[in-house]
Structure 1
Amino acid sequence: MKRRTLPLLVSLLLSWPLSAAAVDFSADELARAKALQQRLLTLDTHLDTPANLARDGFDILQRHGGSAVSEVDYPRMLEGALDGGFWAIYTEQGDRSEAAHLHDRDAGLARLVEIREMVAAHPDKFALARSADEADRIKASGRRVVFISMENASPLVADPSLLSFYQQAGLRMLSLAHFKNNEFADSATDPKGPEWKGLSPAGRALVQEANRLGIVLDESHASDAVFDDLLTASKLPFILSHSGSRAVFDHPRNLDDARLRQLAAKGGVIQVNAYGGYLTAITKSPERVEAEKALEARFGEYDAMSMAQAQAYGDALKELEARYPVKQATLDDFFAHLGHILDVVGPEHTGIGMDWDGGGGVQGMEDVSQLPKITAWLLRKGYSEKQIADIWGGNVMRVLRQAEAYAARQDAAAH
């Protein structure tokens, strides 16, 4: 997920189609793909949709197609045959002062409550998953699967012992850092460069505690040095919940082939994302940048926008796009990353984490309703139903089961 300001909306709107992507699928291909997904456990490991749950005018049960701030809702999940996934508790990192740490702590807990309230309000449509087996049972019941994840461990800085509380409340995946370094780990994108040269001592302790509690570690957004540290610091395989291939596009948020192979050797999984700026080079003219700044000043903060205000912003941005067009990432760009990663580590270590509602979406796949295009592409490439099942959920559930088994052994040894 990206910073919760108007630049995020810019990235979302850039995914809206101006022309068709090169890749295309027949109605029969898409129908076959959707039917297959409906049989499989189809999960996305990075849904930023919780950011919308408290937004004025947003209703998870209503279709919000074409909105500048919404790519996921219940109707479109049904259309795209998405069973659910990991719903992220994201906290934009403050200035790392004591007051900021307390703010981050409270923001994380508030987002946790919002996710659980959504599930409680719609028990016939959503269910909280605490284990891989529960996800299978929820799928069989016809409901959507809600695993809880945390993107950016900043809510834990003020009190790392809160991780145990989060685990009891349903947390099953944890990433350590986001755009900037924090007290636990270095970010891949902090302009100041590395602070810890990997994990900090507090970060190593947090990794050990996450292992003990059966929480899967997520390396997305963290630096290469953090990846290298996790190979030895974590007793368990870890994942990248929404990342890409550096060989396809050289960006620090993506992973190089050597580390892809190390990830696979440890039993981990990389979930391929659809955030345009990580898929291909997107450059803006100075005039475009200034026009976006003017829109930001006019419309204000992302989190404070109502759905109606976001619609007005989207209309304004489309006018801006007509004046100062920007190259858009396409579905072909996404498939270039997915295909390369499959070639390097195979379908046993590859998954899908599109970054929906956090900036994800490309020209040709603008929201979650279009996910069968991915399955249609995999079928075209000759992947078997078992391999596609692994990509859509089996791989990350294997990692979660390993974490569950390790936690059970630790608990038994302690008692």
Structure 2
Amino acid sequence: MKARTATFAALLLAGCATTPSKTSADVSRDQARAVHDRLLVLDTHLDTPMHFQRPGWDFGAPHDPATDLVQVDMVRMEAGDLDGGFFVIYTDQGPLTGQGYADALAFARARSDLIDSTLAKYPERIVPVTTAEEARAAAAQDKLIAFKSIENSYPLGLDLSHMKEFYDRGVRLMGPVHGANNQFADSATDDPHWNGLSSLGRQWLAEANRLGIVVDASHASDAAFDQMLALSTAPLLLSHSSARWAHDAPRNLDDARIRALAAKGGAICVSTIYLSDMHLEGERAELFEQYEHMESMTPAQQADLARRWRALDAEQPLWDADFETYMEQVLHVIDVAGVDHVCFAGDWDGGGGVTGFNDISALPLVTQRLLDAGYSEADLAKMWGGNVLRIVAAAQAAAE
């Protein structure tokens, strides 16, 4: 897989690369690419399932960025040597009512089924996994790796037995909350209601620990993070979060909490989002609304949306950040947390990506910059996949 995509990868990287700054440890792109090729590379938050039911769209085919906004497909995974990651069951926050919970549960079940049916079309290229051992075995067979995660536990309603249902469906990473407070916890981007976790949220945490599901603290308020860190019997994962050092946004985590996370064995998967204010007004808001409902658009309408989006990018990108901004943050987080507690997740297909680092075909650029900074291949092996698999295994061991 990796060998047969080298030419395509080189073409993609030539189009999206920025020029890394030179250091005394500077390595060539070919050297960095060889190292990256040997690593097991995972991303803990892939929103790509939102594209799986788009008319005329094929997860196994390449897509032209000029006419398609997707940032992850199997061709790009192979090109960027992304071995796999966590494919997200995301449900938008709705009313905290019986009907709201029922509708959300039906949606989450359908999204889980959609992930399964999509992966089943490509058994020779990608396989679902639920353990660190299965992930390593798939990589050894040169196959792509697909874990499942839940972003926003709202669909569980008030019945925590649904956690076992989704565990049986293959979910191994779960976050309690998203962009608004729900029945389990306060969101980082909402006003406090529970002052952290609700009583039900504490039960949710205990059940996640009992089942061996990794607890994802991204999107949770600082108070909810603190309580989950104190109460969890297994390490936490921040599946897609940035550092507040880089930009003072409530979605980002401050250095003290990053250190506390590391002290208890957890890891922060460094994201590309909220490295600046988000430009989500005017035409961008209109386009984003259409983007979230592409399953109802024809292929021609989807292509037109992509062209309008790219034209707006040229005038006003979604984020005032670039690859240099991202790497400054990465190096800072490594300094704070240590190489045993850092991982990566760009929030691809969920609003992530910055100038010069626009999709997963550019991942080897990160490896090159980290090698330039003096980090070893063993360090990179931890950060690109080893730390995530360690935490998955630790959650399951704690449950056992």
Does the pair score TM above 0.5?
yes
**Aligned partner (choices 231, 255, 258) of residue 256 of structure 2:** 258
Residue 57 of structure 2 aligns with which residue?
58
The alpha carbon displacement at 1:89 in A equals 0.5
> 2:130 aligned with 1:133, yes or no?
no
Tell whether 2:180 aligns with 1:218.
no
TM-superposed deviation, 1:99 = 1.4
Q: Aligned pair in 2 of structure 1 residues 321, 47: CA closer, same or farther (>3 Å)?
A: closer
Cα pair 1:34 1:81 within 8 Å, conserved: no
5+ residue gaps, structure 2: 1-13
Q: Is the 8 A contact 1:23 1:331 kept in 2?
A: no
Q: What is the distance in 2 between the residues matched to 1:299 and 1:155?
A: 22
Aligned to 1:232: 230
Classify 1:306/1:223 alpha carbon distance in 2 versus 1 (closer, same or farther; 3 Å). Answer: farther
Structure 1 residue 80 and structure 2 residue 76: aligned? no
Q: Does residue 365 in structure 1 map to residue 361 in structure 2? A: no
Task: Indicate conservation of the 8 Å contact 1:37/1:82, yes or no.
Answer: no
Contact 2:55/2:295 (CA < 8 Å) preserved in 1?
Answer: no
Q: 1:375 aligns with which of 367, 374, 385?
A: 367
Task: Give the Å deviation of 1:368.
Answer: 0.8
> How many pairs does the alignment contain?
384
Q: Pairwise mapping of residues 343-354 of structure 1 onto structure 2 (< 5 A)? A: 343-354=335-346
SS in structure 1 opposite 2:108?
helix
Secondary structure at 1:150's aligned position in 2? Answer: strand
- Cα distance between partner residues in 2 of 1:244 and 1:294: 26
Q: Which runs of 5+ in 1 are unaligned?
A: 1-16, 409-415
TM-score (norm 1): 0.87
**1:113 alignment counterpart:** 113
Quote the offset at 1:79 in angstroms.
0.6
Q: Structure 2: how far apart are the matches of 1:324 and 1:139? A: 39
> Which residue, 20, 25, 47 being the options, matches 1:23?
20
Note the alpha carbon deviations across 1:42-82, whole angstroms, 9 max, x for none.
10000111111111121011011304430011111111001
Give the letter for the 2:109 counterpart: L
In 2, the alpha carbon distance for the partners of 1:350 and 1:109 equals 31
| Aligned partners of 2:275 and 2:320 also within 8 Å | no
Q: CA deviation at 1:30?
A: 2.9
Q: Distance in 1 between matches of 2:223 and 2:359?
A: 33
CA contact (8 A) 1:21 1:330 kept: no
Query: 8 Å contact 2:181–2:187 — kept in the other structure?
Result: yes
- The residue type paired with residue 29 of structure 1 is S
Contact 2:71 2:349 (C-alpha < 8 Å) held by counterparts: yes
1:332 aligns with 2:324: yes
Contact 1:356–1:367 (CA under 8 A) maintained in structure 2: yes
Q: CA RMSD in A?
A: 2.5
> Hey, what's the Cα distance between the residues in 2 that align with 1:81 and 1:299?
26
Does the Cα contact within 8 Å between 1:274 and 1:334 map onto a contact in 2? yes
How far 1:406 moved relative to its partner?
Answer: 1.4
The correspondence of residues 5-404 of structure 1 with structure 2, limited to 5 A, is 21=18, 23=20, 29-66=28-65, 67-190=67-190, 193-275=191-273, 278-282=274-278, 289-292=281-284, 301-321=293-313, 328-404=320-396
- AA of the residue aligned to 1:97: T
Which residue pairs with 2:6 in the alignment?
none
* Deviation for aligned residue 1:359: 1.0
Question: What secondary structure, in the 3-state scheme, does the structure 2 residue paired with 1:312 have?
Answer: helix
